Amino acid sequence: MKSLRHLILLLMVSASFAYGGEGHDHGEDGPANSQQSAAEHGHEHGEEAGDGHGHDGEEGESRAVTLWTDKMELFMEYPVLTANQPGRFIIHLTILDGFQPVREGGVKLTFVTSDGHAHHVVETELLREGIFTPTVELHDVGTHEFAIVYNGPEVRDSFNISGFAVYASADQIPHSEEVESGDEISFLKEQQWKIPFATAETDTREVKRAVWAIGDVLPSPNAYVEIVSPVDGIVHVGESGRLALPGSMVRRGSTVATITPPVQGQGWASSRLAFEQAKRDYERAQRLKERQAISQREFEQVQNEYLAMKAGFESVSGGGENGTLELHAPISGKIIEWQVSPGQRVNAGDKLMAIVDPETVWLRVNVYENDFRTLGQPVGAYVKADGPGGGWAISDGDMKVLTTGGAFDPVTRTVPVLLEVSNQTNRLRVHESTPVELYASDGTISTAVPKTAVYEDEGIDVVFVQTGGESFEKRVVQVGPHYNGWVAITHGLAPGERVVTTGGYQVKLAASSAEIGHGHAH
């Protein structure tokens, strides 16, 4: 006897409503390699989906299977068929990129007997998004090769289902034992599709030893310049609006500020008049020297004064109009450290702004004393600048170790490691502080999962292992080193198991919710 809960769920399945979908013409794909879940058995959830599966008014045996390819996930519940008796297959299809249900397209089910006879079932209408429910009736008893091909506008994929057989009568169907659910967590496909969700296989990879520290992003001296006022004056925008805004990008040679002469003081106009006077004195001295009217020493003195004035004048000459001085950017980059505003009076030597080329920056990582002694020469880094769970790796080819260990800070007990980092994507911001993970050259081969798969539960590290399409298990694990967005698992997981990498918190909540898992109304 099935429980009352099973009977209610069966009625819910039988009363499911149709959701219209458009049919399409489809081609055939060859079968692709796929991974078959250990959940391919007659479990509780599969039996609940047994609408139309029984014979003579009795509920029959059912199975569930979960398969993955690189592009899709298949979760299917289906009845164990007897010859010439129809059964409804419930097929859930998920596109792994974005973890979204299929919303268009169709499926083709192919059954091939041992003697090569093929039977095809095509379904082009969705019950509702993500779910096809084709009815299958087969006549040949025995083992069949069973393949499903999905053909959609974005993805085409195929799955091979092993162990599929058709029996002569219901009493010949081997009964699968009830599997105790234990701590199994039910989290339905309809719930998974509505939230940010993702899963990934455990991987065997090299995980390098790493140390965590705080890094400060500094401008590279070769890509940083300060703009100072060469004369007294007033910072002015002018009619052309020639004043670079903080945070804006400028090109080399472009005008970043305009300075007008002050009412009094040694401004730009005075400097220009002084230069013009020195130039006239030099030209007069040349004429006098030609007539031998002045000595060589007197000529050289006038010449030197002119050349010095000329060098200083040309260093600030901006070609401004109406006695103004235009300051030009000596490099291409971003305006930072803006220290003046239009209309402000400045003196010669006052800092106005700085320009930095952000494509190359310095990263000063302050490593704790104990970690530094075992780190050695870093061979890579991971920057966690995007908040919880976010960050990116810096490969050995995109960074250069400039110095390691100048002196220990007596207060923080850290020692700086200075790196030059390629920052072409501008993800690092000058003067920001960010957590950084430095990788040592040595590493170990280990089972590993993405960092986002590991959760802390009452002080214990856990992951959520997917045991079937809609079933999960909370697993206590021991973690090892972190490397390049992955974390080594030294105990608790085996290679090939699949874990939740996004949405694990919702799975955790599902474990404590009395309502979750109480029905799968297809």
Render pLDDT for 378-410 as a digit per residue (tens, 0 to 9): 888 888 876 555 678 887 788 898 888 777 888
- DSSP one-letter string for 461-509: EEEEEEEETTEEEEEE-EEEEEETTEEEEEES--TT-EEEEESHHHHHH
Contact residues for 153 (Cβ-Cβ < 8 A; gap 6+): 24, 104, 105
User: Looking at 220-324, which runs of residues are DSSP E strands?
Assistant: 224-228, 233-236, 249-250, 255-260
CB 336 within 8 A of CB 361: no
- Return the CATH architecture of domain 4-179: Sandwich (2.60)
Percent of the chain with pLDDT strictly greater than 70: 78
Does 314 score more than 60 pLDDT? no
Mean pLDDT of 474-484: 88
Number of Cβ within 10 Å of residue 464's Cβ equals: 27
Mean pLDDT of the chain: 79
Q: Which of 413, 408, 412, 425 is nearest to 361 (CA)?
A: 425
- Which ranges in the chain are annotated with CATH 2.40.50.100? 231-356
CATH fold group of domain 231-356: OB fold (Dihydrolipoamide Acetyltransferase, E2P) (2.40.50)
List Cβ neighbours of 240 (8 Å cut-off, separation of 6 or more): none
E runs forming strands in 232-282: 233-236, 249-250, 255-260
Q: Dihedral sign, CA of 489, 493, 497, 501?
A: negative
pTM over cut 0.85:
no
How many CA atoms does the CB half-sphere of 422 hold within 13 Å?
10
Q: Where in the chain is the domain with CATH 2.60.40.1930?
A: 4-179
Bridge-partner residues for 364, per DSSP? Answer: 216, 418
Confidence (pLDDT) at 216: 92
Query: Within the chain, which residue ranges are assigned CATH 2.40.30.170?
Result: 200-218+359-512
Mean pLDDT, rounded, for 327-333: 86
State the pLDDT at residue 46.
Answer: 37
Q: Which two tokens stand for residue 62?
A: 């059912």
**What architecture is domain 200-218+359-512?**
Beta Barrel (2.40)
Strand 351-356 versus strand 399-404 pairing type: unpaired
| Pair 345, 234: CB distance under 8 Å | yes
Q: How confident is the model over 334-362, as pLDDT tens digits?
A: 888 777 777 788 888 888 888 998 888 99
